[in-house]
Amino acid sequence: MADSINKTPALRVSQLDASELDSEVVHIIKAQLNKIFRYHKSNVLVTYDPEVTAIIKSLIWRFTIYVHDSTIGQQILNLKYSGTTQQTSWMTGRQKILYGLILIFCPWLRERADSLINFVGLSQYQLQIRKFLRWLDISLKLAAVVNFLVFLRGGLYQTIAERVLGIQAMFPNRQGIRQVSFEYMTRELLWHGFSEFLFFTLPLINFQRVKNFVRRHVLPRHEDPAQDGLRVMECAVCEDVPTNPQEIGCPHLFCYYCIQSNFKADPNFSCPGCQMNIPTVDSIRPYRAVIS
Ligand SMILES: [Zn+2]
Ligand SMILES: [Zn+2]
């Protein structure tokens, strides 16, 4: 087996993809946990969020880095951590444990620093400790930025933890020629752009108005029983028994909703039966049956 190993330095993009996948895995597991506890009264997950995250991360660490020398994302992308210059070995046990501590324990400590200070009984030094922690935080962030720039230049040690421990992601096997097809991506981008355009333009079109225009000018007029001056007892818009009947001065009746919504959407709306125009909103009035 040993002679088949042929370490080659990992590509920057693979390393970045791997770390992206790793954080995604933690998010997915946390989302599942949240779903389980959704109907739980006292929200345990919120109170113990740092601990829950630490437990999830340590479980992941136990079954990935500890066993396989690589994180989940790295396994998917066929990467492995190498801690030595020897061709046949990967991370040492010490590196695995220290890496786990940095990944799991440090973020937890950062979240729980305040309660720990009180717990240990160092409340009188609280201000100084807080100040120190803030400076530590800022300098670590700065160092992370510098480290990342160096990583982009050299392609080694994506995080400070990796640099400190001297572990670097490697391809365990010789890589074939990478073939990337951008055909699908272009198609996807095209469709994405098209749908964005549609979503932007569709709300700008007044469909009610278009519909009324087509009805007035394109569709054939059908027989109108109101031509003889008889009152038609159905809504001229929806052709159903009118709800809260309204009239506009012609022999037709309308539902309150039908006539108001059409007139609001299209001020040029005319009666679909006899093409009578509605001059103002006051012309729409409730229909009172004349009992003779
Ligand atoms: Zn109607
Ligand atoms: Zn009419």
The pLDDT of residue 1: 41
Does residue 37 lie in a domain region? yes
Q: Any idea which ligand is nearest the CA of 238? A: 1
**Residues 8 and 129 placed together within one structural domain of the fold:** yes
Residues 128, 123: Cα–Cα separation, whole Å: 10
Are residues 40 and 136 located together in one domain of the fold? yes
pTM, to two decimals: 0.57
- Distance from the CA of 275 to the center of ligand 2, in angstroms? 6
Are 158 and 232 within one domain? no
Last residue of a domain, one of 109, 141, 176: 176
Q: 236 alpha carbon to ligand 2 midpoint, in Å?
A: 7
Q: What residue has token string 């997915």?
A: 28
CATH for 273: 3.30.40.10
CB distance 247 to 271 below 8 Å: no
- CA–centroid distance, residue 270 to ligand 2 (Å): 8
Task: Verify that 59 and 164 share a domain, yes or no.
Answer: yes
Number of domains in the chain: 2
191 domain residue, yes or no? no
Give me ligand 2 centre to Cα 203, in Å: 30
Distance, in Å, from the CA atom of 280 to the CA atom of 292, rounded to the nearest integer, reads 30
Q: How far does the centroid of ligand 2 lie from the alpha carbon of residue 273, in Å?
A: 5
pLDDT for residue 194:
94
Q: Find all residues with CB under 8 Å of 135, minimum gap 6, and list them.
A: none
Q: Which residues of 247-261 are buried (b: 16+ CB within 10 A; e: fewer)?
A: bbebbbbbbbebbee
> 136 or 9: whose pLDDT is higher?
136
272 C-alpha to ligand 1 centroid (Å): 11
pLDDT, residue 149, reads: 93
For 230-262, the pLDDT digits (tens) are 667 889 888 889 999 999 888 889 999 999 999
Q: Write down the pLDDT at residue 222.
A: 64
**Residue given tokens 């006051």 in the structure block:** 282
Residue 93's pLDDT band, with cuts at 50, 70 and 90, is confident
Q: Please report which residue ranges of the chain form alpha helices under DSSP H.
A: 12-36, 44-47, 49-63, 65-68, 72-76, 93-100, 106-120, 126-154, 160-165, 183-201, 207-217, 256-265
pLDDT tens digits along 107-159: 998 888 888 888 877 777 888 888 888 899 999 999 999 999 999 998 888 89
- Can you give the residue range of the structural domain that contains 257? 228-292
Cα(270)–Cα(276) distance, integer angstroms: 5
> Is position 152 within any domain?
yes
Boundary-marking domain end, from 160, 176, 192: 176
The CB-side HSE value for 26 (13 A sphere, CA atoms) comes to 20
CA of 185 to the centre of ligand 1 (A): 48
d(CA 268, ligand 2 centre) in Å: 14
Q: What is the mean pLDDT of residues 8-37?
A: 90
Do 162 and 232 lie in one domain? The reply is no
